[in-house]
Amino acid sequence: MQPEDNKVPLLSDQDSDEDVAYDSGEKVHIVGINEPDDEASLGVVPPFSWKKLWLFTGPGFLMSIAFLDPGNLEGDLQAGAIARKHLAELCSEEYPTWDRMVLWVMAELALIGADIQEVIGSVIAIKILSNGSLPLWAGVLITASDRFIFLFLENYGVRKLEAFFAVLIATMAVSFAWMFGETKPSGTELLHGVLVPKLSSKTIKQAVGVVGCIIMPHNVFLHSALVQSREIDRNKKGQVQEALNYYSIESTAALIISFIINLFVTTVFAKAFYDTEIATGIGLGNAGQYLETYGGGLLPILYIWAIGLLAAGQSSTITGTYAGQFIMGGFLKLKLKKWVRALITRSCAIIPTIIVALVFESSEAALDTLNEWLNVLQSFQIPFALIPLLCLVSKEQIMGAFRIGHVLKVCC
């Protein structure tokens, strides 16, 4: 029996009484979308509205921190917006115990690896801004306090949290754009590099690492949960389609901004160090020092780099904590208070990071090598997030009329 056109066969009666990722009071109310005479309730998608686009804006920009590719974004936002359950919960329901536990362990390993990198990045930035007066392990403890910032902002609503991330993204954009302007790269070479990329056989490890650090596995789980923060009736096809349209626009804008920020950083270091003897020795810790030859105007470029690095590290660690809550809660079905769940997930990541900080305190080169291999680890973890995602969002019993087609499945 085929579903009716204006219905999406997704939720049982039991499911409809239970909000999974967000309580009803935590969700963002979309003005006009739940009115009795709303066209979307009849299966018709209403005309485009800038006001509604603004209300749907947020989840994609949190994801832009990890710079996900469009195929992953499409699967994430559909899984969350349509199925009303994020990826970890769907995996928990659809896969047997052994498979579910393997997926959970892999997701946690990817999350811990990412968190080590993100916290270390913040710590290096703090060390630069403090003129080296703080050791790495002390910086790790300071960075751990971002957990309290997250809890504080979360208590004031999703929009406040999204606004905080918008400030961090803007800080990164301004800092790295400033560096971009100071180094004055060639526009012709930049355009050629974007349109005609080249890859040397000597950079295979870095290339694989780039894949891992861009498509971060834990953020695939996170995005499918974040899109549930908007209150819509997922049993009404018109409302679901309208939400998907706005999420797609918002995610595209977030991707473009993230691409530009990444382009700033890549171009700056390509202009300064490509094909030089010191190129292989450049890392997070010494990058700002090597860039000091370019000045910086009112603010030394070393500190501009540190500010951008700190914003990047803090935004990533907080989203990592956010992702950890959904991953643990979804796979293990833990019914814990938010602060308890946050403390557990943060501890799982902070303890290994402190160990790394103590071991690599005196060797920045070894720390950079570790970061490279952690990126490679991320790339090997990607299939454990993407394959379940693609399998689940292509199932009609989960996605109904909104399941992805074979073309998108192959492209992803």
Model pTM?
0.75
What is the residue whose two structure tokens read 């890392």? 283
What whole-number percentage of the chain has pLDDT above 70?
A: 69
Closest CA to 212 of 386, 378, 67: 378
Q: Strands (DSSP E) along 222-370, which ranges?
A: 230-231
Decide if pLDDT at 8 tops 50.
Answer: no
Decide if pLDDT at 5 tops 50.
Answer: no
Name 48's bridge partners. Answer: none
Alpha-helical regions (H) of 360-399: 364-381, 383-393, 396-399
pLDDT confidence bin for 102, thresholds 50/70/90: very high
Q: What gap in Å lies between CA 285 and CA 373, rounded to an integer?
A: 17
In sequence order, which residues have a C-beta less than 8 Å from that of residue 313 and are 6 or more positions away? 118, 119, 120, 121, 122, 123, 125, 143
pLDDT confidence bin for 9, thresholds 50/70/90: very low
Topology (CATH) of 13-411: Amino acid/polyamine transporter I (1.20.1740)
Residue 255, pLDDT score: 81
Name 231's bridge partners. Answer: 29
The tens digit of pLDDT for each residue in 365-380 reads 777 777 777 877 878 8
Q: What gap in Å lies between CA 76 and CA 220, rounded to an integer?
A: 6
What would the mean pLDDT of 274-278 be, rounded to a whole number? 64
Residue 7, pLDDT score: 44
| DSSP states of 189-254 | HHHHHHHS----GGGHHHHHHHHHHHS-HHHHHHHHHHGGGEE--TTBHHHHHHHHHHHHHHHHHH
C-alpha torsion angle, residues 116, 276, 299, 178 (rounded to 10)? -80
Q: What gap in Å lies between CA 396 and CA 41, rounded to an integer?
A: 21
Closest CA to 54 of 196, 246, 339, 219: 246
